Amino acid sequence: MSAPPFILYYSDEVIELVTDMARSPAYAVKLKKIRKAFRCLEQIGPSHPGLQTHKYESVPGPDGKVLWESYVENHTPAAWRMWWVYGPSHDEISIVTVGPHP
């Protein structure tokens, strides 16, 4: 782990989700929140207070890495989160998935 800015990598699932959401005006507000969360993670890092980043203990990350959860939104029914891991290099973060809190 290093200091921000980080380079973000997106799983195919995240790329497909964001692409599909961009095609529908109904998802404009949600997509704006997702992009803002990505920017905060990239430019400020996981310690940004709005992200409320913490380890996600329920499920291991890819290849046994520690999986982290950060807020996309809060105080909203079925609030969305993003799950990510550090890597592949020390100044990089890989976004695994984005979606409603389980």
Phi, psi of 97 (to 5 degrees): -160, 165
For 15-60, write each residue's pLDDT tens digit.
999 999 999 999 999 999 999 999 999 999 999 999 999 999 988 8
The CB density around residue 9, as the number of other CB atoms within 10 Å, is 16
Please give the structure tokens belonging to residue 32. 């704006």
CATH topology for 7-100 is YaeB-like fold (3.30.2310)
Give the span between the Cα atoms of 30 and 21, in whole angstroms: 8
Could you state, in order of their start, the residue ranges of all structural domains in the chain? 7-100
pLDDT of 8 > 80? The answer is yes
Most distant CA pair in the chain, distance = 37
